[in-house]
Chains A and B, each alone.
Chain A
Amino acid sequence: MTNLEKYNKAFMEALGITEDKLAGLEYNTIPEWDSVGHMQLIAAIEDAFDIMIDTDDIIDLSSYEKGKELIAKYEVEL
């Protein structure tokens, strides 16, 4: 599985959504991505890449695309 596939899988499983909903997806724009869903998403991403995301980055992860930028800081190449 590529890193991008892992990243997408984390979103789909944590938020319970399908792949076609990912592009352009932003925090709090769907019921599934509320504050509880956000922490489930963070846990899924951390598990997928065996990383620990800093609190500042948890706050900044405000969209599917922004998340891609942020996890690059943790030496994960998508």
Chain B
Amino acid sequence: MKSLEGKTAVITGCLQGIGRAAMDMFARNGANVFACSLKRTEEFENHIEELKNECGVEIIPVYFDMMDDESIKSAVKEIQKAKIPIDALVNIAGTDKDALFQMVKMDDLRSTYQVNVFAQILFSQYIVKLMLRHGKGGSVIFTSSISGLEGRAGQLAYASSKAAIVAAAKTMAAELGTSKIRVNTIAPGFIDTEMYKDVPKETIENKIKRTALKRMGQPEEIASVLMFLASERSSHITGQVIRIDGGKGV
């Protein structure tokens, strides 16, 4: 039996990178997916159609803007209307605006927190409310970053927002445990995604040197941990942060 057979997951950030890899892996392992994205593209919709046919599961695209609370609410209404019990919420969508501490614009700080913290908490409030209805519990996963655990020069907004979501997740885990809802966070390291496409090769090589595995991670390697956390295989894990960083600093 596939590890997510019969489950339904809401995944944000499905257009590309880790979100896309998670959507694909969840579907291939039997899960129905509400595939959330900011942008609607022909390639994305074609990919969903192909994936549905390949896997025999439901994949419903949901489009919304995490900068806009009303847009988030509308998306949840759409999900609610489908009347499919939700088993897992995977929060992947995020944003990054790099600047040194003294150069951080307050507007950039606010918009980073809006997407990486406030919107994720609001969206989770609504989706958890749907999870509570069926009484079977569920799994909520947030995506932090090793920057959120360690801090990093030039990433004040991003790193501090990723630290905030760790504390939010732990708090949710403490509150939702009695409802059989587990809440965990992953903290990816250097992953081969769009986020690094404009980063100079030399910088990436320097980052890789600091890992035990001496390579960037692939989105699928993050997706497999997300799948584990969404499945019953992690049924006694909650309130944890799992680093997926190729052994950075060991």
Contact = CB atoms under 8 A, between A and B. Distances in A.
Tier of interface size on chain A: 10 to 19
B125 interface: yes
B76 A43 contact: no
Interface stretch (A5-13, A21-29, A34-42, A65-73): A34-42
Contact of B178 (A36, A43, A52): A36
A55 interface: yes
A40 B80 contact: no
A42 B129 CA distance: 9
Given A52-B73, A52-B80, A54-B73, A43 B129 contact: yes
B133 A47 contact: yes
B214 interface: no
Contacts of B129: 39, 42-43, 46
Interface residues of B, number: 12
A61 to B, nearest CB: 13
B126 interface: yes
B230 to A, nearest CB: 22
B133 A43 contact: yes
Contact of A52 (B77, B132, B179): B77
B134 to A, nearest CB: 9
A52 B126 CA distance: 9
Contact of A39 (B77, B80, B122, B132): B132
Contacts of B76: 52
A31 B132 CA distance: 19
Contacts of A55: 122, 125
A2 B114 CA distance: 41
Interface in B62-121: 73, 76-77, 80
A34 to B, nearest CB: 11
A54 B77 CA distance: 11
Interface string B194-210: 00000000000000000
Contacts of B122: 55
A39 B172 CA distance: 14
8 contacts: A36-B179, A39-B129, A39-B132, A47-B133, A52-B77, A52-B80, A54-B73, A55-B125
Given A43-B133, A55-B122, 12 more contacts: A39-B129, A39-B132, A40-B132, A42-B129, A43-B132, A47-B133, A52-B73, A52-B76, A52-B80, A52-B126, A54-B73, A55-B125
Interface of B: 73, 76-77, 80, 122, 125-126, 129, 132-133, 178-179
